[in-house]
Structure formats: structure tokens, C-alpha cells
Amino acid sequence: MSVLVDRTVAADPAGPARGRSRTAEGFKGLALVVLPPVVVAVAGLGAWEAIVTVGRVAPFVLPAPSAIWEQFTLSLDTIIRTGTASGTNALVGLVLGTIVALLAAMAAGRFRFLAEVSVPVAAALNALPIIALAPILNNMFSATSNIPRRLVVAIVVFFPVFINALRGLREVDPTHRDLMDSYAAGGWTFTRLVRLPGALPFVFTGLRQASSLAVIAAVVSEYFGGLQDGLGSRITSAAANTAYPRAWAFVLGACVLGLVFYLIALLLERVATPWRTR
């Protein structure tokens, strides 16, 4: 799914915005950063509400924000319950996929041959609609198992973490290499003191991308059958019953879940790489 590779590496979707925010200083700067998105949000929601009410747009096309919010508060209990189920799947898959990806990246970083084979394979894997594996995994395990959805999440998560971690491990500042040579420090010492800390920012870039993908994969893989206790199944059943505002309310729940994952990943990144924040 959407993970920018190479130089773009969406390298950091939050990058441009953050870069700008640093240059804009003081209260006025803050206002310039915070105000435009808020204005866009208020104007957008207002226009949406107005168009739907005044234009009498049928709810199956676009329900009004107020109607969605009403359904959201009404079904809050269900949203939390199903959101927890989806969130658990996303989390387990994310952790599993990340661990495997990191191990694979370390192996590929160690052996040149492995890297040459695994990068194209990983890229090819990334071009495939992995989510469509869900029905097959449902057959291989069973339709009442949580494992298929978690495996789908893990496979989807693998790619961004692997590619970013591998790049981080391979990019070593030549001066650092000379310096460590002058200390006669090689092997594991070099890996521990230079490679791993140097790769950390890259790993977190991958993890940040993966965190959103994990939630998306966990929710959407339910559209393919299997156990139906997450947000995805509620969205489909509400839409099937033409209860469109309720379907949107569950989508909103999925959005909140995605945001929570993203923000936690962002927070972990800040904590683990303090030298990049100031």
C-alpha cells in the first residue's frame, strides 16, 4: 500500500510541515501553523453541513456531519468494543511484522547477497494486493481465528519497516567508519555504536508509516470474511442496511483508531531519538 520508497520515502510525510514550523517562531509563527488547518476544518465542515442540508443531498451519497456525529455518540459503546478488537489485531500484527522486518533487515545488512535478493522480492511483494490474502489465510487457519487478520497486518507492515531499516543500516558516514577504524573497533562494537543508533531514525520513519497501514489492513481485511468482531464488519453491515450515517460513524471510529496509532508511533519516535527534536 502507500509507502514511498527511494528518495521520497514519503521520507517523512510530516517533514515539510515540521521543517516550516521551526522557522516560524513565536506566537505569530504558531498561529500561522495552527490557524490554516483549523480554518480549513471549520470551513470544510460548515460547507459540508450546508450543502447537505440546503442541497438536500441524499444520505447515501453524503450524510451531514451532524448526523454522523449523532450516530457516533449513539453507538459509542459498540465503536469502542469493535475498535478494541481491530486495534488489538493491528497492534499484534504491527509488533510481529516489525520484529520480523527488523531481523530480516539486520540479516540483509550483514550479508550483501541477501540484501540484493531481498530488496527486489520485497518490492515485488509490495506491488501485490496483500490484503486479498485474507480469504486464503481464513481457509488455512479457520474463519473463527484472529490469526489471518493479524498475519495480513504483519505482511503489510513488513515492507516499510524492512526497507527503511535496511537503508538506515547500510548508510554509514565514512568519517564514522574511519574514526571507528582508528579505535580498532569493528564487528559487534561497530554495529552497536554506529549502525544501530544511526538506523534508528530510519526505523521510526518506517514504523510511523506502518502504524497507519496496520490499522487500515486490520479494518479492511474484515471485508474479506473471517471473524467479524471488528470495525470493518460494522461498516459493511451498516452500509448493507442502508444506515449510512451509522456506517460513517464507524468509519470515523476507524479514523480515530488510525490517528491514535500514528500519534503513538510519533511519540515513541520523539522519545527514542531525542537528538532529532530540540
Partner 1 sequence: MTAPAVELTGVNKIFNQGRPGEVTALTGVDLTIARGEFIALIGPSGCGKSTLLRLVADLIAPSSGTVTVAGKPARKARLDQEYGIAFQQAGLFEWRTVRRNVELPLELRGQGRRERRARAEEMLELVGLADFARHYPAQLSGGMQQRVAIARALAVHPPLLLMDEPFGALDEMTRERLQDELLRICGTTGTSTIFVTHSIPEAVYLADRVVVMSPRPGRITGIVPIDLGERTETTRQSPGFFTGITKVRAALRGTEAAVGAER
Partner 2 sequence: MRMIRTTLAAGLGLVAGVALWEGYKAVGDPQGTEILGVRLLPRASDAAMPHVLDILERFGRAELTGGDPIWTVVLAACLFTLRNVAVGFAAGGLVGLLLAVLMQRFRLAERGLLPYVILSQTVPLIALAPVIAGWGGRLQLGAYPWQPWMSVSVIAAYLAFFPVAVGALRGLQSPAPIAEELMRSYAAGWWRTLWKLRLPASTPYLFPALRLAGASAVVGAVVGEISTGTRGGIGRLIIEYSREATSDPAKVYTAMIGAALLGLAVAGVVALAELLLTRRTVVTS
Contacts with 155 (C-beta within 8 Å, 6 or more apart), sequence order: 97, 125, 130, 133
| DSSP-derived secondary structure letter, 8 | T
Q: Which of 81, 198, 225, 268 binds partner 1 (CB under 8 A)?
A: 198
Q: Which of 261, 276, 245, 251 is nearest to 60 (CA)?
A: 245
Residue 150 vs 195, nearer CB to partner 1: 195
Shortest Cβ 122–partner 2 spacing (Å)? 9
Burial 22-51, CB ≥16 within 10 A → b, else e: eeeeeeeeeeeeeeeeeeeeeeeeeebeee
Alpha-carbon distance 148 to 89, whole Å? Answer: 10
The three three-digit cell numbers of residue 121, written as one number: 522480492
Shortest Cβ 56–partner 2 spacing (Å)? 14
| Interface with partner 1, residue 176, by CB under 8 A | yes
Residue 36 vs 197, nearer CB to partner 1: 197
Q: Tell me the site size for partner 1, rule CB under 8 A.
A: 21
Contacts with 70 (C-beta within 8 Å, 6 or more apart), sequence order: 245
What number of residues does the chain have? 278
Shortest Cβ 177–partner 1 spacing (Å)? 9
Q: Which of residues 177-196 bind partner 1 (CB under 8 A)?
A: 178-179, 181-185, 189, 193-194
Residue 116 vs 178, nearer CB to partner 1: 178
Alpha-carbon distance 181 to 186, whole Å? Answer: 7
Shortest Cβ 55–partner 2 spacing (Å)? 13
Shortest Cβ 127–partner 2 spacing (Å)? 4
Q: Which of residues 20-79 bind partner 1 (CB under 8 A)?
A: none
Q: Please choose which of partner 2, partner 1, none residue 5 contacts, taking the beta carbon within 5 to 8 angstroms, the exact cut-off set by kind.
A: partner 2
Shortest Cβ 181–partner 2 spacing (Å)? 30
- Region label for 125, one of left (φ > 0), alpha (ψ between -120 and 50) or beta (otherwise): alpha
Q: Please choose which of partner 2, partner 1, none residue 241 contacts, taking the beta carbon within 5 to 8 angstroms, the exact cut-off set by kind.
A: none
| Interface with partner 1, residue 18, by CB under 8 A | no
Q: State the Cα torsion 131-137-143-149 to the nearest 10°.
A: -40
Q: Please choose which of partner 1, partner 2, none residue 145 contacts, taking the beta carbon within 5 to 8 angstroms, the exact cut-off set by kind.
A: partner 2
Alpha-carbon distance 23 to 118, whole Å? Answer: 40
Q: Please choose which of partner 2, partner 1, none residue 262 contacts, taking the beta carbon within 5 to 8 angstroms, the exact cut-off set by kind.
A: partner 2
Residue 152 vs 195, nearer CB to partner 2: 152
Burial class (CB in 10 A: 0-12, 13-18, 19+), 272: middle
What is the residue type of 211?
S
The three three-digit cell numbers of residue 239, written as one number: 452500509
Binding site for partner 1 (CB under 8 A): 173, 175-176, 178-179, 181-185, 189, 193-194, 197-198, 200, 273-276, 278
